[in-house]
Chain A
Amino acid sequence: MALELKNVSKGFGEGASRTQVLQNINLKIEESEFVAIVGFTGSGKTTLVKMMAGLITPDSGQILFQGKPVSGPGKDRGIVFQNYSLLPWFTVLQNVMLAVNEVYPHWTKNERIDHAKKYIDMVNLSPAIHKRPAELSGGMRQRVSLARTLSMKPEMLLMDEPLSALDAITRGILQTEIVNIWGKDKTTALIITNDVDEGILMADRIIPLNPGPNATLGPEFKINIDRPRDKTALNDNPEFIKVRNQVIEYLLDMDADTSTTKTETYTLPKLSPIMPGSFKKSRRAA
């Protein structure tokens, strides 16, 4: 068992203004497994991943990483942030070196630089190695962030909506790249996303997070699609369509449940399409 969450709950605020974000989260992730958690924005996904990384501690419940309770951030769990979190005063290489220097302090400087360069190359950023984040596009920045995290060779890769700020094409490319890199190292991986397709494309298992407050994890959906998965061919894959519909249906049901307080009903105006050429006729008829 790589990561295990037992009855984890977390809330913010005090007294009347307190909101319970996550309630009784139970999750088990196997070694080398790729798990996706999908949910609406504001459902507590970032809180969940920050707890796994050790950046915040749960109010109750336990988080076990490889059998040991998580007490704080560790180099064994690499996290890729949604907003890249690069240090703008460092170049690409320096940003990656910051991580490499911490994880491999006993290596010589050249060994560390080579190691950093290897990972920058892995995310296809070698031409931009001496550029600063300001000179890079969003996709390139997320690649740097990915290289920084991967260079630490973490035993588990935590990704908090890593691609949600990117355009569809860059997103597609990076989805494949992340899966390829994961396939090589077979580290345990967890991706938080709001895109069901992305989850199904990348993960072995997809778990919806019910909308908060008091968010809990929904039932898991296993994705039995062989790897490597081809993003374009996937659209015709019956398994893909099945899982996709199940997950979306589940999410929409949950959303409807939480918003049942709406009593107002809207009557929609009756509309009938006007076909090309039919306009004149209808006027004559009137």
Chain B
Amino acid sequence: MKTVAIKFFSLPGLTWGIPLVKIFSGDSVGEQLKVITKNVLIPLLAIVVFLFAWSFSARQVTTSLGQIPGPGMVLEQFQELWRAHVVEREKAAEFYARQDSRNAEKLAANPNAKVIDIQYTGKPTYIDQIFTSLKTVFMGFMIASLIALPIGILCGLSKTVMKAFNPLIQIFKPVSPLAWLPIVTMIVSAVYVSSNPMFPKSFIISAITVSLCSMWATLINTALGVASVSTDYINVAKVLQLSPLKKTFKVLLPATLPLIFTGLRISLSVGWMVLIASEMLAQNPGLGKFIWDEFQNGSSQSLARIIAAVFTIGITGFILDRIMVELQKLVSFNKAAA
């Protein structure tokens, strides 16, 4: 029973429950209280101290948009943004209901009547914008991975390929998304011409900018991982005379997966960071555009909304990172067992 409970609380995000289970099952209370203090109380205390410091120092500065908002005002804006989202969704539902009943009436009067389904064209809500950002970052992350993984494997396999790619990697790695963006914008505008595009241009531009900045970590880690696969495994592949394809998929990639995932994890967090800047400039309707619009809007709530966006970005990035950590745990094998 105890082990089952501990196993459940070992799930990501629930580890705080383990000492509680141990207390109830009769472990030393003092010992477990120490664990709780260390892992739960101290982080909570730090957050509370931060909130007070923020609240206090915010009152000291007055900007052209009024006072810098404290935690309370930001929380209010969170609620406000959620309310706006709910209202917008209701409006959309009403719109579709009206459209459906109108179409039904038309069809009842004349079964051959042409009915048109019009998309509701309300402005995207804050929640929509979060999802647009997520979609964009995943698109960019996918493009980055599709480019970085094969090149990384090739670099790891051959010193010649590595030498060829290394200067390019080193030169392009530190370039800021803001520098890429104008180039990407021009190229996408020239190449991606379609009367009925599958994705909006701004989405493509942001995604490509994200991938240009985030692919390096995956590339370097994959190359390093493949190059440093234990000679024992390579010898097995040699003795069994595995084909290059089998060698890659049965030996090299499994041995490299932990490092590849470290690279992917860094790539995703870099991508998420870069995304906001590129959305701001490319006007992709995500969190970046939200911040830019609020900044341009300059209402008395704007600063509070931007700070709300900052927290949204931070927490989403944290969740994405945790997901990658859990995925990495899933694919990692026990290294000691060679």
A98 touches B240 (CB 8 A): yes
User: Cβ of B333 < 8 Å from any Cβ of A?
Assistant: yes
Contact B240 A89, beta carbon cutoff 8 Å = no
Are A132 and B241 in contact, with the CB atoms below 8 A? no
Tell me if A99 counts as interface (CB < 8 A to partner B). Answer: yes
List A contacts of B333 (CB < 8 A).
Answer: 88-89, 132, 134
- Give a binary string over A84-99; 1 marks a CB under 8 Å from any B CB, 0 the rest: 1111110000000011
Contact B236 A88 (CB under 8 A): no
Contact B238 A87, beta carbon cutoff 8 Å:
no
Cα–Cα distance between A102 and B254 once the two chains are bound (Å): 19
A74–B338 CB distance below 8 A:
no
B250 touches A88 (CB 8 A): no
Interface size class of A (residues with CB under 8 A): 20 to 34
Q: In the complex the two chains form, is A88's CB within 8 Å of B241's CB?
A: no
Q: Is A133 in contact with B337, judged by CB distance below 8 angstroms?
A: yes
Residues of B near A79 (CB, < 8 A) are 239
Residues of B within 8 A of A87 (CB): 233, 236, 250-251, 254-255
Q: What residues of chain B lie closer than 8 Å to A134, measured between beta carbons?
A: 333-334, 336-337
> Does the CB pair A55–B337 fall under 8 Å?
no
B235 at the interface (CB under 8 A from A): yes
Cβ distance A249 to chain B, nearest Cβ, rounded Å:
35
Q: Is B23 an interface residue (CB 8 A)?
A: no
A81 interfacial by beta-carbon distance below 8 Å: yes
Contact with B along A58-96 (1 / 0, CB 8 A): 000000000000001111001101011111110000000
Q: How far is the CB of A3 from chain B (nearest CB, A)?
A: 16
Q: How far is the CA of A86 from the CA of B235 in the complex (A)?
A: 11
> Which of B236, B240, B254, B335 contacts A75, CB < 8 Å?
B240
Give 1 or 0 for each of A125-160: 1 = CB within 8 Å of chain B CB: 000000011110000000000000000100000000
Residue B42 lies at the interface, judged by CB distance under 8 Å to chain A: no
Report whether A88 and B334 are in contact in the complex, using a CB–CB cutoff of 8 Å: yes
CB distance from B93 to the nearest CB of A (A): 49
A53 within 8 A of B: yes
Choose among A79, A87, A132 the residue with the greatest number of B CB atoms under 10 Å from its CB: A87
Q: Are B235 and A85 in contact (CB under 8 A)?
A: yes
Check A81 against B235 for contact (C-beta < 8 Å).
Answer: yes
A89 to B338, CA, bound (A): 9
Alpha-carbon gap, A86 to B334, bound state (A): 12
Contact with A along B238-255 (1 / 0, CB 8 A): 111110000000110011
Closest residue of chain B to A100 (Cβ to Cβ) is: B240
| Assembly CA distance A73 to B235 (angstroms) | 9
In the assembled complex, the Cα of A85 lies from the Cα of B237 at a distance in Å of 10
Bitwise, B298-335 to A at CB < 8 A (1) or not (0) is 00000000000000000000000000000000000111
Decide yes or no whether B117 CB sits under 8 A from chain A. no
> Which residues of A are found within 8 Å of B238, using beta-carbon distances?
55, 72-73
Q: A55-B239, A99-B240, A102-B240 are in contact. Are A83 and B338 (CB under 8 A)?
A: yes
CB distance from B240 to the nearest CB of A (A): 5
In the complex formed, the residue of A with least CB distance to B254 is A89
Is there contact, CB below 8 Å, between B232 and A102? Answer: no
Q: Which of chain A's residues has its CB closest to B250's CB?
A: A98
Given known pairs A88-B334, A134-B333, the reply for A102 and B242 (CB within 8 Å) is yes
**Contact between chains at A81 and B232 (CB < 8 Å):** yes
CB–CB A85/B240 < 8 A: no
* Distance in Å: Cβ of A85 to nearest Cβ of chain B: 4
> Nearest Cβ in chain B — how far from A82, in angstroms?
10
If the complex has contacts A85-B233, A87-B254, are A102 and B338 also in contact, measured as CB distance less than 8 A?
no
A86 to B250, CA, bound (A): 12
Q: Tell me if A85 and B338 are in contact (CB < 8 A).
A: yes
**Complex CA distance for A78 and B236, rounded to whole angstroms:** 10
In the A-B complex, the 10 residue pairs with the smallest Cβ-Cβ separation, listed nearest first, are A134-B337, A134-B334, A85-B232, A89-B254, A88-B337, A133-B337, A89-B333, A88-B333, A73-B239, A73-B238
For the A-B complex with A75-B240, A98-B236, A133-B338 known, give 11 more contacts whose Cβ atoms are closer than 8 Å.
A53-B239, A55-B235, A55-B238, A75-B241, A85-B233, A87-B251, A88-B335, A88-B337, A89-B255, A98-B242, A152-B240
Q: List 8 A-B contacts (CB under 8 A).
A: A55-B238, A83-B232, A83-B338, A85-B233, A85-B235, A86-B337, A88-B338, A132-B337
